[in-house]
A and B are shown apart, each in its own frame.
Chain A
């Protein structure tokens, strides 16, 4: 193999198919990976980050920014968008040129790998973690002529946590050096991460430039889908509103919203054979998807369990009621189970069959069990609420 081979995957033998009909077209447009040119509903955040980074680049100073928000609120996409615009501005010489590198805490095996990756992306050198840290330290603390500003994006910051927090400390300390010219943008999910896990000297270096991304409201979600679809007429208005209202009520996750829409187009395609179908995604399709995605599988699992398994769950609840606790040993539950068998007119099962029933329910996580080597003394707890169990057992 060549010394520095470029990693690649084998290319397709046939080119990917172009979308044939409206629904397929909509599906490609709604795919999570196809990030649009401009992000709707994030103009304010875009502007804030843009002006922050731009001012640092123009002044030739450094700084840190902490960006937080629940998953699916467009943090990473917005930062990438900002960098693309800034790169464009640098290309037309509106601002001085700069260097953009990106690391992701989840892509590292060890927090100290951050040094190695930063060094490699900056200079192309390979080094061990300690050596890379020393080289970076030297690079950021010594003055050098014609030094470009470096913008460093750190995604999933919480995974860079170490016991001594030296990785985080260095990341936030380097921008404060006079000659560093480093801008660090950090992204994490929780708003109070600096207060919760960072020691004071790290949190103070992170500074107070914080930004939090609020979850999308239903209007914003609707706008996002509309802008994605971009005049492709595949959805009924009401259907879109239902999706966005449901998602906004639960999490405000744009990715979830897109996934639901894509699944709805698939279901619509399947049912297109029916004469009543209009070819548009309607309310019924969306309802079906929402049931698929948000309903709990536990209740279905209990409904589909065997007779003895259902009986065992009833025995568990009966025993909890008797004890007034949320925990019982297997032998206590088994006594109830035998009694229930007799009431139901079934042949009482043996202890080892009872254990098999119990452990099968434990393997589906309907019950929480202790290790099976404890035998009849293992303690049993319910992993679902008693009401759910009763509802599932009563529904038939």
Chain B
């Protein structure tokens, strides 16, 4: 079934092993192999590989370099918070630790190039050396000279070295403004549904037949393919839900070939999984425990997002309510809501054009502290003194991230805030203090 990878520079069996390890990626692996050429041949200075998450970029590179035993350094740019770590890893995997120890405390690019040249003149490359940079989009945030220098490292160090950049972002968003050496671009396309089916069917359960597992994958893809094409995520879901799929079989209710009954059994379960496990509402461990417990319905457990109930002091609740009202009501309607004798104002001819759309769609608006306090005093029934505790409650609401400060930090006289809580949350809060917030919201008039 698998097309054989063919290249004159490498042994036949090794290529076969590589081909087995890389299902549905023969075209890309073959292209890479032909770019890399025979081990002793000089390769292209830089190759840029891009494709979506879990399209097998790192996997293909790792398998090729490991199985063909090519000298390589794999660097994840997430780990390398400073260029020093990046240089150290490259030198370490090419020349051993005595080269890496030569690097000064905060090495510059020229230090790296100098040490590299020094070592590669001592041990000249018999084979092309490969540097694989994962998550290469982070290279753009480092020194401006790093990415252009890496792209033509072959020229700089005068060695048979190739840089391979892996990223999910297209090359157009990498190009430095001063121009650079253009790498070869190689795209890894997404796996199609058939390919996903083929790859996922490979890790079958030893105690069941391959066709049985394959039909399970078929059902799984039927539910999840429209929302998720991420191979890793699908593989995780497949492993989680397989025991539930096998349950009727273990109880002896159905046979392996009775696909329709198995589907009827698993389908609602999978749909529930989409709302819970897939969104990480319920952790995988909890999900597995739930499946063990027969009596409890799946999803009966409250997920992470249901825990929105927060205990707040009495005045803090009113402060939050006042902040919500200030954020979502236009300032010119305050008079009508919070003053006793405001006269007759009609909604239609009273408002500007842009205020007619729902404020809840446009998001919260910033408001000054004075307006917050004015609304606060009018919604609280009793007389409240503006003590230090009120003001400290405002600032602690900011630290709890229920309010956000939008003005600059050092502006003490008129700070501006935004309310950062949802409608459901504020309704729950106002219910606890017996305040009907809907009556005061302009959008719901």
Contacts and interface: CB of A to CB of B under 8 A. Distances in A.
B173 A373 contact: yes
A372 B173 CA distance: 5
Interface in A345-384: 351-352, 355-356, 359-360, 362-364, 369, 371-373, 375
Contact of B174 (A351, A362, A372): A372
Contact of A375 (B140, B172, B176, B179): B172
B173 A375 contact: yes
Nearest to A355: B172
A359 B140 CA distance: 16
A363 B177 contact: yes
Interface in B149-181: 170-179
A366 B9 CA distance: 46
A369 B177 contact: yes
Number of chain B interface residues as a range = 10 to 19
Contacts of A360: 179
Looking at B170, B173, B174, B178, which has the most chain A CB atoms within 10 Å of its CB? B173
B348 to A, nearest CB: 37
Nearest to A354: B172
Contacts of B140: 373
16 contacts: A355-B175, A356-B172, A356-B175, A359-B177, A359-B179, A360-B179, A363-B177, A363-B178, A363-B179, A371-B177, A372-B172, A372-B175, A372-B176, A372-B177, A373-B174, A375-B173
Most buried by B among A352, A360, A371, A372: A372
Contacts of B170: 352
Top 5 A-B pairs, shortest CB-CB distance: A363-B179, A355-B172, A372-B175, A373-B173, A359-B175
Interface string A20-34: 000000000000000
A371 B172 CA distance: 11
Nearest to A374: B173
B148 to A, nearest CB: 11
B44 to A, nearest CB: 18
A365 to B, nearest CB: 9
Interface of chain B: mostly helix, strand, loop or mixed: loop
Interface of A: 351-352, 355-356, 359-360, 362-364, 369, 371-373, 375
Nearest to B169: A373
Nearest to B180: A363
A363 B170 CA distance: 19
A371 B170 CA distance: 14
A229 to B, nearest CB: 43
B177 A362 contact: yes
B404 to A, nearest CB: 26
**Most chain-A Cβ atoms within 10 A of its Cβ — which of B140, B171, B175, B179?**
B175
Contacts of A352: 170-172
Nearest to A372: B175
A359 B180 CA distance: 10
A381 to B, nearest CB: 13
Interface string B166-202: 0000111111111100000000000000000000000
Nearest to A365: B178
Nearest to B173: A373
A363 B177 CA distance: 6
A363 B182 CA distance: 13
Contacts of B175: 355-356, 359, 372
Nearest to B174: A372
A191 B179 CA distance: 39
A363 B172 CA distance: 14
Contacts of B174: 372-373
Given A352-B172, A373-B173, A373-B174, 20 more contacts: A352-B170, A352-B171, A355-B172, A355-B175, A356-B172, A359-B172, A359-B175, A359-B179, A360-B179, A362-B177, A362-B179, A363-B177, A363-B179, A364-B179, A369-B177, A372-B173, A372-B174, A372-B175, A373-B140, A375-B172
Contacts of B171: 352
Contacts of A362: 177, 179
Contacts of B177: 359, 362-363, 369, 371-372
Nearest to B171: A352
Nearest to A352: B172
Nearest to B182: A356
Contacts of A372: 172-177
Contacts of A356: 172, 175
Contacts of A375: 172-173
Contacts of B179: 359-360, 362-364
A371 B179 CA distance: 11
Contacts of B173: 372-373, 375
A359 B177 CA distance: 7
A369 B179 CA distance: 12
A329 to B, nearest CB: 15
A355 B176 CA distance: 12
A374 to B, nearest CB: 8
A360 B175 CA distance: 9
A373 B175 CA distance: 8
